[in-house]
């Protein structure tokens, strides 16, 4: 079997399993698929898995810090919310990119995907961007926890799909005709 067919089959099969699992657990399947794609974008190997997970978590953490600052520091009242939010996002993204000097965080897109995924969840989920939920420990209510769990699980599904594809393509390629 060709590598492309093996990959399509493994991602299709594991994508169906992931969808069922994510929906059952109340996780964000879209964030899982972002991390899955990030794994392949980052090289599709064991190092990519580590850097994807580290970058996704760090990016989501930077977005979490930004959201808390936007909500808790009252400069939005003085400067106006759009200006205050812009300043906070600019500062946290600057720190996020500068952190790429750390080898585990060297894949800047992985951090950006985590940052974007958390803000997507915050801005598209009713009642998500409130201090109580951002600071709480409820696995199903805290946006940071939901996004991070979704992304870690998605990266692991990416790793598993790469391993399954390699097995399928190797097994069929070496089978007698």
Kindly report, residue by residue over 48-83, the tens digit of the pLDDT.
999 999 999 999 999 999 999 999 998 988 899 999
Task: Encode 76-108: b = buried (16+ Cβ within 10 Å), e = exposed.
Answer: beeeeeeebbebbbeebbeebeebbeeebbbbe
**pLDDT band for position 174 (50/70/90)?**
very low
Q: Inform me whether the pLDDT recorded for 99 exceeds 50.
A: yes
Which residue ranges make up each domain of the chain? 3-174
Kindly report, residue by residue over 118-154, the tens digit of the pLDDT.
999 999 998 999 998 999 988 888 999 999 999 999 9
**pLDDT band for position 177 (50/70/90)?**
very low
Q: Give helix 108-124 / helix 46-72 axis angle, nearest 10°.
A: 40
Q: In this prediction, what percent of the chain has a pLDDT beyond 70?
A: 96
Average pLDDT taken over every residue of the chain? 93
Considering the entire predicted model, what is its pTM?
0.91
């Amino acid at each position: 079997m060709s590598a492309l067919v093996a990959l399509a089959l493994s991602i299709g099969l594991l994508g169906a399993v992931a969808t069922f699992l994510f929906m059952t657990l109340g996780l964000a399947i879209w964030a899982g698929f972002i991390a899955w794609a990030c794994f392949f974008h980052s090289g599709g190997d064991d190092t990519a898995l580590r850097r994807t997970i580290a970058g996704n978590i760090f990016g989501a953490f930077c977005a979490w810090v930004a959201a808390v600052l936007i909500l808790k520091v009252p400069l939005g009242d003085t400067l106006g919310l759009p200006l205050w939010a812009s300043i906070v996002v600019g500062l946290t993204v600057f720190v996020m990119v500068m952190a790429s000097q750390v080898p585990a965080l060297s894949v800047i897109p992985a951090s950006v995907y985590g940052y974007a995924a958390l803000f997507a969840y915050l801005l598209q989920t009713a009642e998500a961007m409130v201090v109580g939920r951002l600071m709480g420990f409820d696995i199903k209510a805290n946006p940071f926890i939901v996004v991070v769990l979704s992304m870690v699980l998605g990266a692991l599904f990416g790793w598993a799909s790469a391993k399954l594809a390699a097995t399928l393509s190797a097994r069929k390629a070496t089978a007698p005709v």
